[in-house]
Amino acid sequence: MSADGCPVDHKALAAAPPDKCPVDHSAHGASSEVCPVDHSTRSSWTSLFSSSKNDTPAAAQAPASTSSAGPRLSSEREVSSIPRLDGSNWVYPSQAQFYAAMDRKNHNPQAPDMKVIVPIHNAVNERAWAEVMKWETGEGGEKCGGLRLVSFKGRPNERTPRARWKTLMGYSPPFDRHDWVVDRCGTRVRYVIDFYTGHTGGPAANNLSFYLDVRPALDSWEGVRLRVSRFWERWVGQPSTSSPPSKPTV
């Protein structure tokens, strides 16, 4: 399987039992029942917990009820706050779907972990969207009903130049990377998100914490303009009013 391959067996979706994911990920725009995270990155999320089983809350350590079909996990799905082009919102996977997708590709998921991973997975991606919205504040997206997420791609094995530089400087590498394409009234901007993990200090030093490095990609004049404006505001203290050229040069 390639680094960007989805762990879901799409050929078997039609005959999949209820605990399998019913989503056709080959057509992201076809249904609102799609998660705004590329499912190829699920092994990255489960790996965060594989080395810290003792940190799992006691309620999540209880043995999962099992049957011939596997562990009985919740099939309830959380609707995200992230809008789609069609006006609906993206939907996160349930615990059962998260587990089933990993299990079908032999990623050795642990059922009790799903009760911890799925809520954290959802919350972290809500935070990623909030960071995107900070970049988009004042850019005019409200004129057409607000910013919308068009597409997403998980690229956990591809380091961004900034991530490589931080690693050289002694930082731990990100455990995951996403590329999100958003639509702002017809203007599309690709955002790059590097996910870093650490540990909180104090008595709860074993608890995971997350740092998200969210920024527009430098592959369009709009992305460059947003980055220059943010730099200008941070170091000069007022918005940059410069306008980008009519078309980018390579």
Q: Provide, rounded to the nearest whole percent, the portion of the chain with pLDDT above 90.
A: 40
pLDDT at 246: 43
CA dist., res. 164 & res. 173, Å (int) = 8
pLDDT digits (tens, 9 = 90+) for 114-145: 888 899 889 999 999 999 999 999 999 999 99
| Average pLDDT score over the chain | 74
Q: Give the residue numbers spanning the domain of 163.
A: 25-235
Task: State pLDDT tens for residues 21-57.
Answer: 333 333 333 344 556 655 555 556 666 665 444 443 3
H or E stretch at 179? strand 176-184
How much is the average pLDDT of 171-188? 93
According to the model, what pLDDT value does residue 220 have?
93
Tell me if 6 is assigned to some domain: no
Q: Is residue 244 part of a domain?
A: no
Domain assignment present for residue 13? The answer is: no
Q: How many CB atoms lie within 10 A of CB 138?
A: 9
Q: Is the predicted pLDDT of residue 77 greater than 60, yes or no?
A: yes
Whether 115 and 109 have beta carbons less than 8 Å apart is answered as no
Please report the pLDDT score of residue 36 as a whole number.
62
**Structural domain contains residue 162:** yes
Give the residue with greater pLDDT, 185 vs 106: 185
Domain count within the chain: 1
Q: Are 40 and 3 in contact (CB under 8 A)?
A: yes
Asked if residue 222 is part of any domain, the answer here is: yes
Structural domain includes residue 4: no
Instruction: Let me know if residue 51 belongs to a domain.
Output: yes
212, 196 in Cβ contact below 8 A?
yes
Judge whether 7 lies within some domain.
Answer: no
Percent helix, strand, coil in the chain (nearest 5)? Answer: 35, 20, 45
Residue 82 predicted with pLDDT over 70: yes
Whether the pLDDT of residue 224 is over 90: the answer is yes
146-174 per-position pLDDT tens digit: 999 999 898 888 999 999 998 898 888 99
Higher-confidence position of 217 and 40: 217
Distance CA 37, CA 176 (A): 11
